[in-house]
Amino acid sequence: MVFDFSFVLVALAALTGAVWGLDTWLFAARRRERGTARDPVLVDYARSFFPVIVIVLVLRSFLYEPFRIPSDSMMPTLIQGDFIFVNKWRYGLRLPVLNTRILEIGEPQRGDVVVFRKPTEPSIVFIKRLVGLPGDVISVTASEVLVNGTPSQIAPGELYSGPKSEQYPFSRVGEERLGEAAHAI
């Protein structure tokens, strides 16, 4: 089972908003007429948590979402365990939970770091660099990546000396060009 934090936020926002709204429109006036000044505890909590939950929902769904790097596959750019914030509006806005696009802003480009869920196991998140665009033919051999038959340009580099260098003692850091963008590999 996949834990969907967006669904939890939407459900909590709906529940706290409904409790607060129903109390405001149906029950608050009766309490005032009877002279009862205190709101029920549930209503008090709903009124307190509703704006916080909505703010978190809007931030995570439409602006930025945090992710933890799951593996070393993006070294030296991203190290396993690092946290990144994903810009959710760079390519357009999507509704939380439904994932329906509501506003198209831009398209991914070669070299962009993208976050996506494994189609067969949505609980697994992949964070990878985009090599090809729709319609491109990608070929991978033991030593190079070809995009539409053209090898990516890789400039050899020095021995890797960054984080986790003891785990990769003979690794070299090079520079790869994907279109106009250059990236450390």
Long-range contacts of 108-113 (CB under 8 A, 24+ apart): 108/133, 109/133, 109/179, 109/181, 110/147, 110/178, 110/179, 110/181, 111/178, 111/179, 111/180, 111/181, 111/183, 113/74, 113/77, 113/78, 113/84
Choice between 47 and 98, residue whose per-residue pLDDT is larger? 47
What per-residue confidence (pLDDT) applies to 155?
62
pLDDT tens across 95-150, in order? Answer: 888 888 899 998 888 888 899 888 898 888 899 888 888 999 988 887 778 888 88
Residue 88: active-site member: no
pLDDT of residue 58: 95
What does the pLDDT read at residue 162?
Answer: 66
Q: What is the pLDDT averaged over residues 72-76? A: 81
Question: Would residue 73 show up in a list of annotated catalytic residues for this protein?
Answer: yes
* Catalytic pick among 73, 118, 123, 139: 73
Select which of 48, 118, 123, 128 is catalytic: 128
